[in-house]
């Protein structure tokens, strides 16, 4: 190993434990972003050992190397163009045949490969075993058994990866049937002479026979395209089916044959507790009762935890005020330091973190246990009424954490229409920042039942809007086809790491905005600009919505991040006892309008990148007008019950 920096890519199907291996290998040394020019999440990490740095890239979970989705394009192009020093193909040992279908395609890219045979314990629970050496010999690839959630086999996997990097042995191709192989060889020999691309010639030949449009687009030689068409016609004549169908069928045959050869009966299968749990958890009656009960329990738990620690932290930080006020600095600097800088930090810690941290922890538990996919299954019927399917519920669930990944998460939807509807609805899901306002304002000063009512009103609005979008946007809903992952016992180390990765984004990204917003607000106060700005919003804020004029300023800052509406309200009135400055009706209206008005600026930016300026602008204007109109109507109606 002569270089100082090497690259390892992790590739595999969804739900095979690939991200768990990534987290175990890289620890907290990770960077989460997007692939250049794409909306697909990019996870990178760094391992340093014995003076050698290894850059680890977690590729999206996919099932093929075709170009039907951005995830497939990203994975294929990264392996072909960037040419990582090794590719770890994470394979689910309990579903070997299906996973090998993807392995055979990775072999065609001719990258140095290692197979991480993960979730091997689930395989053993089925009373089966795999002959690792035979599998390795048949594929010509090193095979390492792993149980990632228990950190078993990962050291051996890492050492084997270093060996593969050092040896740089070329993976031998998997041969298809005689007729297909003849056509591939003819085309490959011509491509080798005429074309120089980052894709291997054999891979290009196979993809041309499969009618891969993206490969056809990079082949500028019309003679090669004509030859490919001629060879395809020959295969159609022999098999009576399209070459793509023939090649896919032969891949499955090879995968099935290999899986059959290496899989051995070991003993009696253990009782699958997961299947017994699913009989209850996925039942048409008990499944929904469990889901509803779980959602209410999560809401109640986050509220109780958040309100307790918010009050405890707030009281503790209040003891610092005399120290800062008495600092030997000019009065203006003292006020900016405390009311601007320190109040911003304190507000972020006491108002936001006690609610966001436990929510992210629960979200990680649901993901790691496998229950999140069950939620998608249970909600499929409801989603169909909105013109979507159960997959759409997964990004909507993500929306409870943050709307940005929720909008990005709509990439799992196959059609633009479905993605657009799901993204609009995701912008209305109460994210963690909006939940902070509901729990920290409405639940604390009116009671949890009022926060639940606002939640209910928001979900009713989402349902009605979804029905309208489904009716007026052309197209019809498609059926749900998805893989149900195994139930897993959550591993505390992994859960905490996933929680921290999400929370870190808030700490690093949101805190500077909160502090800067507080400082700007304090400058506005010192310059006596607050009242003129508030008077500008008075016709809408006071006369229509029934809120104090200063509420307009808090909504402006809320466009940066939603929790800033509450933080700015506290900063403007210099109190966190909102019952002193708002009536019960105003608290309710403030909470409701904050739920549904303009998405935060990060969401708007992502929405624009996903769907373009026209759609993003339409959604922003629509949600702003909708919030003002519905908020005003609700204000007039509540005068009867909350004078």
CATH number at 200 reads 1.10.287.1770
Strand partners, 88: 10, 114
Looking at the chain, the whole-number percentage of residues with pLDDT higher than 70 is: 90
236 and 307 share one domain = no
Tell me the pLDDT band of 453, cut-offs 50, 70 and 90: very high
| Stretch 493-513: mean pLDDT | 74
Q: In terms of pLDDT, which residue wins out, 354 or 141?
A: 141
pLDDT, position 632: 92
pLDDT at 221 over 60: yes
Predicted pLDDT of residue 286: 93
Q: How many CA atoms lie within 13 A of 393 on its CB side?
A: 21
Residues 6+ away with beta carbon under 8 Å from 520: none
| In a shared domain, residues 290 and 252 | no
For the chain, the C-alpha Rg in angstroms (whole number) is 28
Please state the rounded mean pLDDT for residues 173-196. 88
Give the pair of three-digit tokens for residue 363.
């979200």
Q: Are residues 468 and 364 in the same domain?
A: yes
Among the listed residues 571, 613, 51, 594, the one whose alpha carbon sits nearest the alpha carbon of residue 339 = 571
Same domain, 239 and 331: no
- Res. 40 pLDDT band, cuts 50 70 90: low
Mean pLDDT of the 597-623 span: 84
Which residues span the domain enclosing 85? Answer: 5-167
Mapping DSSP to helix (H, G, I), strand (E, B) and coil, where does residue 55 land?
A: strand
Phi-psi domain of 42 (left: phi exceeds 0; alpha: psi -120 through 50; beta: other): beta
Q: Is the pLDDT of residue 576 over 80?
A: no
Residues 295 and 250 in one domain: no
Reading the block at residue 545, the tokens are: 């919505």
Q: Tell me the C-alpha to C-alpha distance, in Å, between residue 15 and each of 20, 22, 94.
A: 10, 13, 12
Read out DSSP for 437-502? HIIIIIIHHT-HHHHHHHHHHHHHHHHHHHHHHHHHSSS---------PPP-PPPHHHHHHHHHHH
Phi, psi (rounded to 5 degrees) for 6: -120, 160
Looking at residue 67, its pLDDT comes to 63
Residue 456 included in any domain = yes
- Asked if residue 479 and residue 438 are part of one domain, the reply reads yes
Pair (601, 501) in one structural domain: yes
Six-digit token pair at 578?
């909102």
What φ, ψ does residue 179 adopt, rounded to 5°?
-65, -45
Q: Tell me the β-bridge partners of 145.
A: 117
Do 140 and 259 share a domain, yes or no? no
> Residue 101's pLDDT band (boundaries 50, 70, 90)?
very high
Q: Cβ neighbours of residue 277 under 8 Å, at least 6 residues apart? A: 487
**Residue 37: predicted pLDDT:** 45
Paired tokens of 519: 């400082």
Residue the block writes with tokens 């890239």: 57
pLDDT at 516 exceeding the cut of 80: no
When mean pLDDT is compared across 141-150, 188-197, 354-363, 537-546, the lowest value belongs to 354-363
Say which residue, 48 or 117, is predicted with more confidence: 117
Residue 489 lies in a domain: yes
End-to-end CA distance of the chain: 76
Residues with Cβ < 8 Å from 531, sequence gap 6 or more? none
Domain boundary among 167, 190, 218: 167
Q: When comparing pLDDT for 48 and 230, which is higher?
A: 230
Give the pLDDT of residue 38.
Answer: 45
Helix, strand, coil fractions of the chain, as percent rounded to 5: 65, 10, 25
Angle at 398 between CA 512 and CA 45, to 5 degrees: 65
What is the number of structural domains in the chain?
A: 3
- Structural domain ending residue among the three candidates 143, 167, 191: 167
* pLDDT value, residue 35: 44
Q: CA 563 to CA 565: how far, in whole Å? A: 5
Q: Is the pLDDT of residue 162 over 80?
A: yes
What is the rounded CA–CA span in Å between residue 158 and residue 140? 18
Domain termination site, one of 124, 143, 167: 167
Q: Which of 326-330, 386-390, 469-473 has the lowest mean pLDDT?
A: 386-390
Q: What is the pLDDT of residues 280-332, one digit of tens each?
A: 888 889 998 998 898 888 877 877 787 788 778 878 887 887 887 777 878 78
Q: Is residue 280 part of a domain?
A: no
Strands 113-118 and 143-145: parallel
pLDDT above 80 (res 631)? yes
For residues 416 and 505, state if they share a domain. yes
pLDDT at 28: 57
- What CATH number should be reported for the domain holding residue 14? 3.40.50.300
Claim to verify: residue 110 and residue 257 sit in the same structural domain: no
Average pLDDT over residues 495-506: 75
C-alpha pair distances (Å), 351 with each of 285, 565, 567 = 38, 11, 8
Beta bridge partners of residue 46, listed in sequence order? 55
Residues 78, 67: contact at Cβ < 8 Å? no
When pLDDT is cut at 50, 70 and 90, the band that residue 262 belongs to is: very high
Q: Please check whether residues 196 and 104 belong to one and the same domain.
A: no
| 271 belongs to a structural domain | no
Give the number of C-alpha atoms closer than 13 A to the C-alpha of residue 229, restricted to the C-beta side: 8
Q: Are strands 30-34 and 41-49 parallel, antiparallel or unpaired?
A: antiparallel
Q: How many helices (H) and strands (E) does the chain have?
A: 33, 9
Task: Please give the average per-residue pLDDT across 123-132, as a whole number.
Answer: 85
Question: What percent of the chain has pLDDT above 90?
Answer: 19
Is residue 298 one of the residues assigned to a domain?
yes
Mean pLDDT of the chain: 82
Chain-centre distance of CA 512, in angstroms?
24
Phi, psi of 291 (to 5 degrees): -60, -45
**Which CB contacts under 8 angstroms, 24+ apart, belong to 545-549?**
545/589, 545/593, 545/628, 545/631, 545/632, 545/635, 546/585, 546/586, 546/589, 546/635, 547/582, 547/586, 547/589, 547/590, 547/593, 548/581, 548/582, 548/586
> Does residue 145 sit in the same domain as residue 231?
no
Q: Rounded to whole angstroms, what are the CA distances from 525 to 147, 235, 292, 562, 574?
A: 58, 78, 46, 21, 12
Average the pLDDT over each of 130-134, 402-406, 468-472, 541-545 and give the range with the smallest value: 402-406
Whether 145 maps to a domain, the answer reads: yes
Q: Is residue 173 part of a domain?
A: no
Residue 424 forms part of a structural domain: yes
- Note whether 441 and 566 are within 8 A (CB): yes
Tell me the two tokens of residue 522.
Answer: 């304090």
In this predicted model, what pLDDT tens digit does every residue of 10-37 receive, in sequence order? 999 877 888 888 888 887 555 554 444 4
């Amino acid at each position: 190993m002569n270089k100082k920096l090497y690259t390892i890519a992790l590739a595999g199907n969804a739900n095979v434990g690939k991200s768990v291996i990534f987290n175990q290998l890289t620890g907290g040394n990770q960077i989460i972003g997007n692939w250049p020019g794409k909306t697909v999440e990019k996870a990178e990490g760094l391992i340093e050992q014995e003076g050698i740095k290894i850059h680890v890239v977690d590729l999206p979970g996919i099932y093929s190397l075709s170009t039907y989705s951005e995830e497939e394009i990203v994975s294929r192009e990264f392996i072909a163009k960037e040419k990582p020093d090794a590719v770890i193909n994470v394979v689910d040992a309990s579903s070997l045949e299906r996973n090998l279908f993807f392995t055979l395609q990775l072999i065609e890219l001719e990258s140095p490969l290692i197979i991480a045979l993960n979730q091997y314990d689930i395989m053993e629970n089925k009373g089966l075993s795999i002959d690792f050496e035979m599998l390795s010999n048949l594929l010509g690839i090193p095979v390492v058994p792993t149980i990632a959630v228990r950190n078993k086999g990962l050291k051996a996997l890492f050492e084997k990866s270093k060996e593969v990097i050092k040896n740089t042995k070329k993976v031998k191709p998997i041969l298809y049937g005689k007729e297909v192989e003849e056509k591939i060889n003819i085309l490959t020999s011509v491509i080798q002479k005429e074309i120089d691309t980052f894709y291997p010639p054999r891979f290009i030949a196979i993809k041309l026979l499969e009618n891969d449009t993206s490969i056809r687009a990079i082949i500028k030689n019309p003679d090669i395209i004509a030859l490919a068409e001629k060879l395809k016609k020959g295969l159609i004549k022999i098999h009576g089916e399209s070459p793509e169908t023939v090649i896919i069928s032969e891949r499955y045959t090879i995968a099935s044959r290999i899986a059959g050869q290496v899989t051995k009966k070991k003993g009696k299968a253990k009782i699958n507790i997961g299947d017994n749990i699913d009989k209850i958890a996925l039942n048409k009656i008990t499944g929904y009762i469990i889901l509803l009960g779980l959602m209410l329990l999560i809401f109640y738990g986050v509220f109780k935890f958040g309100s307790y620690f918010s009050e405890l932290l707030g009281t503790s930080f209040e003891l610092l005020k005399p120290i800062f006020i008495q600092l030997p600095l000019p009065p203006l600097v003292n006020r900016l330091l405390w009311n601007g800088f320190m109040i911003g930090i304190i507000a972020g810690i006491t108002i936001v973190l006690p609610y966001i941290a436990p929510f992210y922890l629960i979200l990680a538990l649901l993901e790691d246990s496998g229950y999140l996919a069950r939620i998608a299954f249970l909600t499929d019927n409801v989603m169909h009424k909105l013109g979507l399917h159960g997959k759409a519920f997964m990004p909507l669930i993500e929306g409870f954490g943050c709307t940005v990944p929720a909008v990005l998460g709509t990439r799992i939807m196959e059609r633009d229409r479905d993605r657009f509807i799901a993204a609009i609805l995701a912008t209305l899901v109460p994210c963690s920042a909006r939940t902070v306002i509901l729990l920290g304002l409405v639940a604390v000063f009116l009671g949890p039942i009022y926060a639940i009512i606002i939640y209910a009103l928001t979900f009713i609005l989402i349902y009605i809007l979804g029905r309208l979008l489904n009716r007026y946007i052309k197209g019809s809903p498609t059926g749900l086809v998805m893989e149900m992952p195994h139930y897993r016992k959550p591993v505390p180390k992994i859960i905490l790491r996933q929680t921290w990765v999400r929370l870190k984004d808030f700490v690093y990204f949101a805190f500077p905005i909160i502090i800067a917003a507080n400082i700007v607000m304090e400058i506005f106060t010192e310059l006596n600009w607050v009242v003129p700005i508030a008077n500008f919003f008075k016709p809408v804020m006071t006369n229509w919505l029934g809120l104090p004029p200063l509420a307009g300023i808090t909504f402006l800052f809320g466009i940066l991040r939603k929790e800033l509406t509450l933080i700015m309200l506290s900063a403007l009135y210099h109190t966190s006892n909102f019952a002193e400055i708002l009536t019960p009706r105003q608290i309710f209206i403030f909470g409701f309008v904050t739920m549904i008005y303009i998405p935060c600026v990060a969401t708007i930016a992502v929405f624009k990148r996903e769907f373009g300026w026209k759609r993003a602008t339409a959604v922003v204007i629509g949600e702003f007008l909708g919030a003002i109109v519905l908020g005003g109507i609700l204000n007039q109606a509540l005068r009867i019950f909350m004078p």
